[in-house]
Amino acid sequence: VTLQTNYPGHDRQYRLRREAGQSGWDTADGIAATLTELAREFDSPHTPKSGDLLEMGCGAGDLSLFLASRGYNVTGVDISPFAIEWAREKTAEAGIQASFHVGDVRDLAAFADASFDLVLDGQCLHCIIGEEDRTAFLRSAYRVLRPGGVLHLRTMCGDPRTPGLQDGFDAETRCQIRGSVAVRYVGYPDVIAHEVEAAGFEIREQRILRTTGEDMLILDAVKGAPQ
């Protein structure tokens, strides 16, 4: 089965969410909870404590701005021009340095090989559907990392727990289908870990974070130094 996708459709979602008074992709409370988790995850000995960081699927920039305030040199990329404009506004308001680009995580075309120390999956990989696109995501993350650089994944996994994800979830493809479009992929942790290794990474640490929402796979993987 070839599943239909609509990645640019996220742009409309951001417009609607901003009109509805939301703080970003998530509510203010949701963002605060994610940032608390992220801070804990970044305490891991496997996570570089400084350097050049790229957030894939940064949206309105909430995770990126938090990490920039902790001293990383942050770049964010997202397919939604509306979200990127929103992220730039927030950056200016906060008086923080970070740069945001419109682009596709499947090629990261604007970024040179080996230009980041840390790549954060900004809860974007679970939006990427099908083997070809998911491989493209992971291989572009690998390409832009320096040898020894780290990929930090935060991606939904396992069986859907909330009505928001159960609605339209197809157990066979493990995708949530809206209309005729596959909007989320929620794989089992071992399957996702296998995809990461197939893209060339060495996994350093993985665990499942049980939240009030969906289970999240938190995984750190390294781009090995050239032999």
Q: Where on the chain is the footprint of ligand SAM (CB under 6 A)? A: 7, 10, 24-26, 57-59, 62-63, 78-80, 83, 104-106, 122-124, 127
What's the closest the beta carbon of residue 224 comes to ligand SAM, in angstroms? 26
Compute the least distance from the CB of residue 60 to ligand SAM, in Å.
6
Residue type, 128: I
Q: Which of 169, 203, 168, 172 is nearest to 189 (CA)?
A: 203
Residue number, 54 or 150, with CB nearest to ligand SAM? 54
Strands of 61-215, DSSP E:
73-78, 99-102, 116-121, 145-156, 169-170, 175-178, 181-185, 202-209
Q: Please identify, using beta-carbon distances, which residue of 24 and 226 lies nearer to ligand SAM.
A: 24
Q: Least distance to ligand SAM from the beta carbon of 121, Å? A: 9
Say which DSSP state 5 is in: -
Question: Cβ closer to ligand SAM: 122 or 160?
Answer: 122
- CB closer to ligand SAM, 8 vs 71: 8
User: Do the beta carbons of residue 54 and residue 77 sit within 8 Å?
Assistant: yes
**Which CB sits closer to ligand SAM, 141 or 145?**
141
| Least distance CB 106 / ligand SAM (angstroms) | 6
Of 31, 42, 35, 224, give the one whose Cα is nearest residue 142.
224
Percentages of the chain per state (helix, strand, coil), in multiples of 5 = 35, 25, 40
- Per the structure block, which two tokens stand in for 168? 């339209």
Least distance in angstroms from the C-beta of 40 to ligand SAM? 16
